Structure 1
C-alpha cells in the first residue's frame, strides 16, 4: 500500500512541476502564437514585447507556445530559434557570440572564427539579410530580461535586430520579455523608431477578478494539480487508493477552513509559481494517504514566518531597546532619518526613568548601534558624507513597527518595562 501511495506522490510532483497550463492568459497566449506562427509559415517579420510583473508566468507562456510550434512539421526545417538572456549575456559581444553559435554560423567560412565584435556583427547581419524572403529560414529571437539589453553600449545589437525585422529581407521575429512597464523609454530614439511598438501585457489575476473569483480560480488550479486520473496504467496503483485520494481532495476543496487558508495564501502572493512551490512543499509533508487542512495550515504558518522578526528576536536587550527607540523616533517624526545621538538620548531618558532597566556606558551603546547597522536593520543615507562623525551620520530604519512589536511579543526574558515601552504611546 505504501509503495502505491509513493506512485501517487511521484505523479503529483510531476504534474505540478511540469504543468504548463497558463490559467487566465488564453488570449495573450493566442496572440503570441499567432505572431510567431506568421513568422514561421508566412515569412512575416515583426517585433513585440511581453510585459508583466515578476513570477506571473511570462516565460512559462512563451515556452508553452514554442512547444506547440515545435510540433509543426516545418519548424525544424524552416525555423531557427535563438534564446538570449539579459542576465547571462551582459554585453553585445556575449549576446552575438551566443546568437552565432545557436544559428550554427560560427565556422561556416573556410573554418574562420571571427575575432572582433564588428566582424561577427557584420557576418551575422549578412547571413540574415542574404537570400530572398520566401526561401530563407525564419529566425525567432526570444530576449529574456529584455530591459537589461537596453543598457548595452549604444544598443547596437537591438538596433540591428530591429532594423532587420523592419526590412523585407530574411523573416525574423523578436520577442522581448520584461517586467519593466517603462521599457520603451529605455530604448534609444533610433532603436525605438525601428520597433513595432506591439506590446502584450500579462496583468495579475487579482487585478482582473474579484476576491471570490480569485479564490475559485485558485481552488480550480489546486484540483487540476492534485487530482489523480483513475484507471491509469502508467500510474501503477490500484483504483481503490486513487478513488480514496480524489475523495479526500473533493472534501478538502469544500472545507471552509481550507478555503480560508488558501485565501490567506492568495493575499500573500497570487502568482502561479508561488502556488506551485506551496503545493510541492505540501506534497513533501504528506505522511498518510489523505489530504488534510492541517498540512496546508502548517505549510502556510512556515511561509508566514518573518525572517526579520527572527533576527530581531536574537538581539540583546540593549540592542532591542535601541530598535524600540528608533521605532518611537520614526512614529514621532513621521519616518524622518535619525542618528546615533538622537537614539542614544531617547534610550538614556528611558533607562533613567526605569530602575529595572540597566544603564550602559556610551561606548557600549555605540557598539550595539554599530552591530544593528551590521545586521542591516538600519542603513546609512546615501547623501551622508564620510566627513561627518559617525555619531551624527543619518540612518533610516529598515524594519516596520509591526515587526518590532511582534519580535518583542515573541522574545522571552525581556524586562516588563521594555515590553511596556515598546507598546506605549509616542514619547
Structure 2
C-alpha cells in the first residue's frame, strides 16, 4: 500500500495503537487525522482534556517524523476528502461500539469507493464481539462474562512506530484553544502513562481503599481510557504483574462488559435493557433541579453532585449514591440523570455511563433490580468523619464529625431545593 489515512477517534495514543501500527507496517506514507465534530457536545473540562490530548498526540507524531492533521466538520466527509487529497489506498481506524461510531464506520465503508476501510481493536481489552455465550449474541450477566474474559486469548500489545512518513504538502491545521476547563487531570498519552506508572505502585491497595470517599483510592484513569490516551490492554497486562491487582482488573472487565452490551443493544441510552422493568418515572422538575444543583438536603448526595460540576469527575461510590437517590428515592427517570453525567464527566463514556445508570435504576444488568442504597448509612460507612462532605459542601464546614451526615430537611428535598443553613453549628 502506498498511502493510508489513520483516523484517530477514541485512541489518542501512539503506543499500542493497532490501527496506527498496521498502517505504518503496510503503507509507505501515513496520514494521521483527527476530526473535530461540532455536533458532539462537551463540557469545558472535556474540551480542555481533548485539546491537551490532541496536542500531546501531535507532539508524539512529530517526534517520529509525522504530524497530526486536524480538520473540523463531519468526520466521514472530512476523512474521505483528505483520503482523496492524498490519493490514499486505505483508511484505518479503531472499531467502536456506540451507535454514533457504528454510523461513522458504515458511512466510511459506503463512501470509500476503491479505498479499503479497515477496523482495528484497541478501545477495549477484549473486542466486544469476541465473547458470546451459548445461545446468545452477548453476555447479559457480568460474572459469567468475567470468567470468559479471563480465559480469552488476547492480541499482543503492539509497540510505538519508530518513524512515520507523511506525503509532502498536507496542511495539518491548527488545534483549538484548550479553553477554561479546570479538571483534575491533564490530558494526553504522556500524562496518562505517568498516571499508570504511579497507580501501579499502589494497585494492590485498591480493594481496601477504593470505596473511601475522602481518600479517593481509585485509579482516576477512566478519562485516559475513555479518550484512548492509555491502552486498556496494556494496562491490564501491566496490572496483572502486580500482587493484589485482581479487583482493579475486574473493573477493566466491567468496562469491556458494558461495551459488549452496548454493541448488542444500541438502545441502551434510551430504552430499558431489562424487559418489564420500566417504571412510571416522576416528572418532578423541582426535585430534579435540586439534585442537579447539589441542594437536596442529603449532604453526601450534594457533595457528589458538586464534585461532578467542579471537577468533571465524581468518586465511584458517590456515583452510585447520587444515581440511586435520584431513581430509587426521588423516582426520577434514570435517563435524565445519565444526561447530566454525560454533560459534565471527563470520562463520559456512553456504554459505561448508561450501563451503570441502568444497573442502579434496576432496568439494566443488575441481577438484583430492586437494590437501593441508603445514602446516610453509606455516608457513615464510607465517609465516617465527614471529610468528603465538608470538602464539597462548605455550608457544613463547621459541623463536626459524622454529624455532618444528618439529612437536612430530607422530606422537603423531594419537592424543592434545600438551602443549607449558613453559618451552621451543632451542639
Q: TM-score, normalised by structure 1?
A: 0.29
Structure label with greater radius of gyration: 1
Kindly indicate which of the two structures has a greater share of residues assigned to helix: 1
Q: TM-score, normalised by structure 2?
A: 0.29
